[in-house]
Structure 1
Amino acid sequence: MSAEPITSAVSPAVDRRPAVTVLSGFSAGAVQAAARALLIADDSLIAVRHDLTGLRHGLIGRTVETAAIVLEHTAVDLAHGCVSCTLREDALPTLARLARERPDGDLLLVLPPVVEPEAVASACAHCTIDGTPVTDTVRFDSYVTVVDADSFLDDLSSPDNLRDRGMHAADDDHRAVAEVVAHQVEFSDTVIIWSRPGTDVLELDRLDTLVHHLAPWAVRVPTGTAPSLDCTALAARVRRTGRHDPQRPGVLGLALEGRPIAVHDTDGGHSVTSIVFDTRRPFHPQRLHDALEEVTEHALRGRGQFWIASQPDTAVAFEFAGGGVSAGSLGYWLAALPTGRWAEASDDRRIAADLDWDPYYGDRRTVLALIGLDLDHEAITALLNSCLLTDAELADGFDAWRALPDPFAGCFPPADDDVIAEETRE
């Protein structure tokens, strides 16, 4: 007599935390219209939004509502008037409170136009409510950015700062409009392309292509040009998708972890082009500095990482938006650190470095992306190549490189020189 083996199936635990959809976008009207559509599609959905008009004076307004009723409309005093304080002291605690009070309903966090979604993710990583991480109470399901077809390209190409438009969140907020717009799209996992019945279809196609180049990892959801919007269909493509990856780094850290930072498409549709420049050789600091304005002259957006021969221990973040170039430290290359400190890096970064390790350069590499309209791929690539060390300069070695004229000197100060591996100086 035989018998079937006895097996036991263990069902995966059901995640009962309310799901939070984070909705951002620079066009307040388009964001509010998208939020209204999502509320209409689900009468149990609760939206939380903040008015930052008085933020610089430590005062904000908070509104909590469903499609049918305003549940709360409250003025909130903050100890410090800043975006991060608003998130830590009010927005995230409000989400946690609502999740406890209404555990059967999902939540929609509607961000003001100047708030970047990455700030929410960063706050979540460090925020506790009554000693409990906020992510124990709610699940951040998706980061959705709304792009307004009527204004997005103008904002992305604008030289304005937020202060020029009276939108700065603090006295020391010097961000460019284009920088905020780009960051909102790039951090999203879903982009709603908001359009209207009169929107030109060809312009919509070009915008869709541009958004794809800016955020190839995001799902694009067009609203179309019909006279009415199917709110239920929109909600089905946007909410409870599980698209948010809490481990995904910010866009400037993608290349360090072996992730693509853009699509290389030099002949894109609707004149949209993007160039990905990837090399192991270091830049000559003076030649790179002198060429940056010409490199970025016709781009809408630039991003990535690079290294310069005079500072070979430092991975440098590169950004361009709104006519301004910025660069900052991403920390040390692993090759510049004792192996005992490699554990401080993420698993993905160590794996990426191991898979692509160079016997001479280690994990040092430049990966830059430029995105725009009708960019001249050959000219830009040739210009960047001319900024790299020549064979003769390369043969001089690390010690000689450090003595090169460096207009970036002091811009990326190391945190602790004493831990840098001596082998990088040999």
Structure 2
Amino acid sequence: MSSSPQAPTHTVTADGADIRPSLTVLSGFWPAATFAAARALLAADTSLLLIRHDLAGIQDGVVRRVVRTGTGIVEDEQVVLRHGCISCTLREDVLPTLVRLTRTHPGRDLVLMLPEAVEPEAVAAATAHCLVNGAPITDLIRVDSYVTVLDAEHLLDGLASTDDLIALGIQAADDDDRALADVVVRQIEYADTLVLWGQSRDGEFDTGRMSVLLQRMAPWATHLRVDGDLVDAGMLTRQLRHTHRHRPETPGILARGLQGYTLGAHEPEPDCGVVSAVFRARRPFHPQRLHDVLEEVNAEVIRSRGHLWLASQADTVIAWEFAGGGLAMGSLGHWLVSLPEDRWDHVEDQRRLAAALDWDPYYGDRHQHLVFIGLDIDPVELHRTLAGCLLTDAELADGEDTWRTYPDPFAGCFPLSVEELADTDTDTDTEGARSA
């Protein structure tokens, strides 16, 4: 229990039970499906409070907040923000509203339904780091689960889309350059629970294929399928609420592999055409050879992600993520082998442990770890292509001094500075290089 002066007097009973109200966070790019799931939860428990924010006016610094129960609307207000952006909305209204409702409606659980352009990880970060009245909201509220609802009719189109939010007119800020597919995959990958809602317009086989695809994209999540035409609200409530599935210590997707968490499942045999292939290697990539195959290796891929190292930039952990036809690469900080030992104390314990378990006498913790997920991709050819980009025996024998002189199309894309050393476990910038 928190020692904050703003914390409630009792959040744990004498027998150790946590009596804080539960918060379920619902996200999803298709609001009709997400709201349908929310309505089912409200139907099963009329005391439940549902909070929604309409961001249509966010560019003008205004959002609309609606709070409802299963019996009607409790609040419907326009909120003026100091700055029109998602982070301001979270800090200035979303978190304070959760705290206020907990105090004015004690004992009632909450569901926060996110706008389609909001990624759940941003909410989790705000919940963890932003204070309300000098205290974290987790003093009052137990974050139970992050649930993402996917519309089976539109999911594949969304994952394959090359549109960006600005073109669709739903950007969260003037400089919001995210792609639709980027938002969808991040909503999928952060969730601890995924709900595939409804049916594909192409029939049961295609719906099953979407289910397999989600399993491959997020093997760590709990997966549910719901027929949108016939919903058992009681069953859905038991599946989505009071599950205790949220694990705040789990790192973001780009740091998962570095910290020893599952990054993806190696399932090279097609299931409904879906293939998930994991590529791992110790040797570094030759920068030019890797650059030459970037388009080829992602040609049939829906999602790829992970981290790698280049012979020419041997100190740098390089992030890799592909969605919606665009590949983003950027710096994740230093490999531990390149850090002085007195800097290791600044690195996450989990990362140090994962590195120690897989340490190589020559390469240290440096390695390649990439996951490719798609329909009808050839995992053997993919592995052959990537393996051909690794240094040969003769190139390895030349040593690091020679590697750093290789012609490098990525030169200057992933800079590291002395000042970054202390933050190497948390820095993530995947805008270093982007290829359409």
TM score, norm. by length of structure 1: 0.93
- Which residue of the partner structure matches residue 174 of structure 1? 177
Secondary structure of 1:389's partner?
coil
- Which residue of the partner structure matches residue 355 of structure 1? 357
Q: Which has the higher strand share?
A: 2
User: Structure 2 CA distance, aligned partners of 1:372 and 1:418?
Assistant: 35
Aligned residues: 410
Deviation at 1:31, TM superposition (A): 0.6
- Which residue of the partner structure matches residue 423 of structure 1? none
Secondary structure of 1:266's partner?
strand
Does the Cα contact within 8 Å between 1:338 and 1:419 map onto a contact in 2?
no
1:144 counterpart = 2:147 = yes
Match among 322, 327, 330 for residue 329 of structure 2: 327
User: Structure 2 CA distance, aligned partners of 1:64 and 1:96?
Assistant: 13
User: Structure 1 CA distance, aligned partners of 2:175 and 2:197?
Assistant: 31
Q: How do residues 8-23 of structure 1 correspond to structure 2 at under 5 angstroms?
A: 13-23=16-26
Secondary structure of 1:313's partner?
strand
CA RMSD after TM alignment:
1.7
- Which residue of the partner structure matches residue 132 of structure 1? 135
Match among 376, 382, 385 for residue 383 of structure 1: 385
Does the Cα contact within 8 Å between 2:25 and 2:112 map onto a contact in 1?
yes
String of CA shifts for 1:238-297, please: whole Å, max 9, x gaps: 111000100000111110011111111111310000110011111111111111111101
Q: Which runs of 5+ in 2 are unaligned?
A: 1-12, 423-436
User: Structure 1 CA distance, aligned partners of 2:200 and 2:393?
Assistant: 58
- Which residue of the partner structure matches residue 430 of structure 2? none
- Which residue of the partner structure matches residue 126 of structure 2? 123
1:305 counterpart = 2:307 = yes
User: Structure 2 CA distance, aligned partners of 1:135 and 1:11?
Assistant: 20
User: Structure 1 CA distance, aligned partners of 2:252 and 2:25?
Assistant: 16
Does the Cα contact within 8 Å between 1:142 and 1:190 map onto a contact in 2?
yes
String of CA shifts for 1:10-55, please: whole Å, max 9, x gaps: 9762212111100000001101111111111111110111000011
User: Structure 2 CA distance, aligned partners of 1:305 and 1:42?
Assistant: 44
1:403 counterpart = 2:388 = no
Q: How do residues 216-365 of structure 1 correspond to structure 2 at under 5 angstroms?
A: 216-224=219-227, 227-365=229-367
User: Structure 2 CA distance, aligned partners of 1:273 and 1:290?
Assistant: 23
Point out 4+ residue stretches in structure 1 off by more than 3 angstroms: 196-199, 417-420
String of CA shifts for 1:47-88, please: whole Å, max 9, x gaps: 111000011111111111111121111111111111111111
Deviation at 1:103, TM superposition (A): 2.3
Secondary structure of 1:312's partner?
strand
Match among 60, 67, 77 for residue 57 of structure 1: 60
Secondary structure of 1:297's partner?
coil
- Which residue of the partner structure matches residue 212 of structure 1? 215
| Alignment CA distance shift 1:166-1:256 (3 Å) | same
User: Structure 1 CA distance, aligned partners of 2:270 and 2:90?
Assistant: 39
Deviation at 1:137, TM superposition (A): 1.6
| Alignment CA distance shift 1:355-1:73 (3 Å) | same
Deviation at 1:418, TM superposition (A): 9.6
- Which residue of the partner structure matches residue 88 of structure 2? 85
Q: Which runs of 5+ in 1 are unaligned?
A: 1-9, 421-426
Does the Cα contact within 8 Å between 2:46 and 2:71 map onto a contact in 1?
yes
Identity, in percent, stands at 51
- Which residue of the partner structure matches residue 3 of structure 1? none
String of CA shifts for 1:316-353, please: whole Å, max 9, x gaps: 11100010000111111111111222122222111111
TM score, norm. by length of structure 2: 0.91
1:113 counterpart = 2:116 = yes
Secondary structure of 1:257's partner?
coil
Does the Cα contact within 8 Å between 1:176 and 1:322 map onto a contact in 2?
yes
